[in-house]
Amino acid sequence: MREILLNICLVAVATALFRMLVPENSFRKQIGFLTACFFITAVISLVSGREAVFGDVSGVDFGTESKFIDFSEQTTKQRKQAIGEELSGRVREVLNRNGIEPSKIYVIVNISGLYSISINEIKLVLPPESDFIKASAIVEKEVGEGIKVTFVPQT
């Protein structure tokens, strides 16, 4: 009995160490599930006295190549568009309150592989009679000084 408890503790420690090595990404839940399955199988085999055999998996062909659909690019594009539209609406609202009416506002959004979002640039399309310096100062005050504000003349 003592040997079984010792082996269960060793399996628990090994499982915990493996789970700590799992990076923060989209597969964390799946890897956690597989680790839990391994732990449960190891504990059951230790308690029952039988040896767990993982090599005899029938009906699964690991040699074939599976096709899958990657939705991450589509999701990223939709998220960029939503962020751009929201920020564009806020900037338009602030500029309109100050008497400046932009024709269009372009927001350059970047989403990196680790899902960090950054706004690189805001392009304002203003009529020729608009004061770009005033508009730029208003936008920088609203969104922060780290974002580049550029002017595109209306054609």
The C-alpha torsion from 80 through 84 and 86 to 89, rounded to 10°, is -170
**Apex 113 CA angle, 30 and 83, nearest 5:** 110
Q: What's this model's pTM, rounded to 2 decimal places?
A: 0.50
Q: What sign has the CA pseudo-torsion 54, 55, 61, 64?
A: positive
Q: 106 φ, ψ to 5°?
A: -110, 130
What pLDDT score was predicted for residue 66? 59
What pLDDT score was predicted for residue 145? 76
pLDDT tens for 81-135 read: 888 888 888 888 998 898 888 888 888 888 776 667 788 888 888 888 888 888 8
State both tokens at 122. Answer: 């805001």
What pLDDT score was predicted for residue 108? 84
CATH number listed for the domain at residues 73-153: 3.30.70
What pLDDT score was predicted for residue 63? 57
Please list, in sequence order, all residues whose beta carbon lies within 8 angstroms of the beta carbon of residue 95, skipping any fewer than 6 positions away.
101, 102, 124, 135, 138, 139
pLDDT tens for 53-76 read: 555 555 555 555 656 666 667 777
